[in-house]
């Protein structure tokens, strides 16, 4: 978890600086049938919000913990990230990830092995779920920043 925490702490500092390199017009450009950079950032907020609850609940609810998926397109649509100032989206992303860092930092080592039911008779550990959260984030950061990803 040390590497995950280091990565998240780094991103909390680096992401706002990288986003400021774009104009509001650049982050709002919406490729046909794809999310704008702002909407991708919003999606990362939605991912953080969903995983925030998962990282807490798996520690005390019945195991294996059943992961409920969410409709990411509708979440982005309903939040209307396209019309929210980019700074607000970035601030929300920072705040929720600061809390996720606190949660991860306080997970007892034994609980990292707790199982999550991801459906179709497949299971992952809480540790793997946390790692997947950061992999997912890095994937989308690559979409925003391209080859010069953070």
pLDDT at 130 over 90: yes
HSE value, Cβ hemisphere, 13 Å, CA-based, for 49: 14
For the segment 18-59, what is each residue's pLDDT rounded down to a tens digit?
Answer: 999 999 999 999 988 899 999 999 999 999 999 999 999 999
* pLDDT of amino acid 149: 73
pTM of the model: 0.95
* pLDDT of amino acid 147: 73
Name residue 100's beta-bridge partners: none
90, 24 contact by CB (below 8 A): no
* pLDDT of amino acid 92: 98
Per-residue confidence band for 120, with pLDDT thresholds at 50, 70 and 90: very high
- The residue among 13, 18, 14 whose CA lies nearest residue 37 is 18
Q: Measured between alpha carbons, how far is 64 from 45 in angstroms, rounded to an integer?
A: 26
* pLDDT of amino acid 150: 82
Helix (H, G, I), strand (E, B) or coil at 147: helix
- The residue among 150, 113, 107, 89 whose CA lies nearest residue 5 is 107
Query: Can you read off the two tokens belonging to residue 148?
Result: 């010069």
* pLDDT of amino acid 25: 95
Mind listing the domains of the chain with CATH numbers? Answer: 2-148 (1.20.120.450)
C-alpha 75 chain-centroid distance: 13
């Amino acid at each position: 978890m040390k590497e995950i925490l280091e990565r998240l702490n780094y991103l909390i500092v680096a992401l706002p600086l990288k986003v400021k390199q774009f104009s509001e017009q650049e982050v709002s450009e919406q490729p046909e049938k794809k999310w704008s950079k702002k909407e991708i950032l919003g999606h990362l907020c939605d991912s953080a919000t969903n995983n925030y609850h998962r990282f807490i609940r798996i520690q005390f609810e019945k195991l294996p913990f059943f992961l409920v998926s969410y409709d990411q397109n509708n979440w982005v649509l309903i939040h209307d990230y396209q019309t929210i100032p980019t700074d607000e989206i970035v601030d929300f992303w920072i705040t929720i990830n600061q809390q996720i860092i606190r949660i991860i930092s306080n997970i007892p080592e034994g609980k990292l092995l707790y199982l999550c039911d991801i459906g179709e008779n497949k299971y992952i550990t809480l540790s793997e779920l946390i790692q997947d959260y950061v992999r997912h984030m890095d994937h989308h950061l690559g979409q925003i920043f391209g080859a010069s990803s953070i």
